[in-house]
Structure 1
Amino acid sequence: MSEALVDEIEAINSIFGDGTLAREQDDDLSVFVLTLPGDTASLRLQFPPEYPDVPPAVLGTHSAGSAGKRGAAARHLALFRDAVGEVYEPGQVCLFDAIEKSKSTFVARCAPVTSPSQAADFLAHLLATDKRVRTATHNITAWRIRGPNGTSFQDCDDDGETAAGGRLLHLMQLMDLWDTMVVVTRWYGGQKLGPRRFALINQTARDAFVRAGLVKEEGAAGGAGGKKKGGK
């Protein structure tokens, strides 16, 4: 098992709960069971030795869940295969590390987008398919898109974390990032962080940009002092 896969399994299980991604009980050590968020359905995945340079194979369903409706397992399988095909890039894992500080947890997701409607669709799909994201304290977003004939679009949303969206957008401007969006999810842990929360939000986003291959990392990414979950 590659070091990248070990880190990714640890990050996924630390965010979504122990056992979300676990090795299947058989002789093939490359086969894992992924329990889908907000559902008892689960899928069988096979990670080749070359992962993440080679994508995982979605073998089929493991369980449709006790409350699964007729045909639900097939729909889950088709949606997940489509998602892997859309987000997988050679050498890149699919989920970025969480950062934890004073019981608050921050997770960033970035995705390529080519229109404002596609950016809105990405966020809507994320909220519709992931219960933990949907019930998070904040989902802060920003995107920048180059349109035809020299036009451009950019926007952001604080989602209740005042001024955080504008700071994310400013970070993207400084990094000269285009045709991408970022969603930083925060689960509030009960302890106020004050202005430091903005540094943690931007640090989480920057790490996602770097790991997605959108920018070359130069030294340490930020200095807000958060603890990474799933990293070394």
Structure 2
Amino acid sequence: MLTLDKIISDRGSKYAVSGAPCRDGEEARALIAQLCRAKRFAKATHNSWGLLCAEGPIKNDDGESGAGMTILRMLEREGLHEHLVVVTRWYGGKHLGGDRFRHVQEAVRIYLEALGKAG
């Protein structure tokens, strides 16, 4: 799993993005469990994710309402199928409002660029 940590910081909140090839929802949950074996990620406030696969689009906001759909939209735009993308947030004590969606988008963009997919 490719993880890009400490990529965005805003008002105390910190973000990371991770991802890996993934066939289905079951494999996605196993990859999330693997990610959360690292204590830092297990203690994160949110591990939101999205996956486009044969089962259809699958997402999990993990309490960050709307984050999974934001990830799915970006994966659809890039045509990236069978690849799990997870955006992790550590809450910093101040609400970010709509900026949190911009940060989720930016995290996915950074990940796609690391894969050589966005441009």
- Regarding TM over 0.5, the answer is yes
Identity of aligned residues (%): 31
Counterpart in 2 of 1:188? 91
In structure 1, the residue matched to 2:114 is 211
Q: Which residue of 2 aligns with 1:142?
A: 50
Q: Which protein has the larger Cα radius of gyration, Structure 1 or Structure 2?
A: 1
The code of the aligned residue for 1:115 comes to: D
- 1:105 matches 2:14: yes
1:114 paired with 2:23, answer yes
Quote how far apart the aligned CAs of 1:216 are. Answer: 3.6
Give the Å deviation of 1:207: 0.6
Distance 2:50 2:24 in 1: 13
**Is the Cα–Cα contact under 8 Å of residues 112 and 181 in structure 1 kept in the other structure?**
yes
Distance 1:163 1:191 in 2: 18
Larger strand share, 1 or 2: 2
Tell me the distance in 1 between the aligned counterparts of 2:11 and 2:56. Answer: 35
Q: Does the aligned pair in 1 maintain the 2:35–2:41 contact within 8 Å? A: yes
User: Any idea what SS the aligned residue of 1:172 has?
Assistant: helix
In the alignment, which residue of structure 2 is the partner of 1:131? 39
Which residue does the alignment assign to 1:177? 80
RMSD over equivalenced CA pairs, Å: 1.5
**1:156 matched to which residue of 2?**
59
- Which structure's relative contact order is higher, taking Cα pairs within 8 Å and 6+ residues apart? 2
SS at match of 1:95: strand
The separation in 1 between residues aligned to 2:90 and 2:4, in whole angstroms, is 16
- If the length of structure 1 is used for normalisation, what is the TM-score? 0.48
TM superposition shift of 1:124:
1.5
Unaligned ranges ≥5, structure 2: none
Q: 1:95: Cα distance to partner? A: 3.3
Deviation at 1:106, TM superposition (A): 0.6
Counterpart contact for 1:143–1:169, Cα < 8 Å: yes
Answer whether contact 1:184 1:201 (CA < 8 A) is retained.
yes
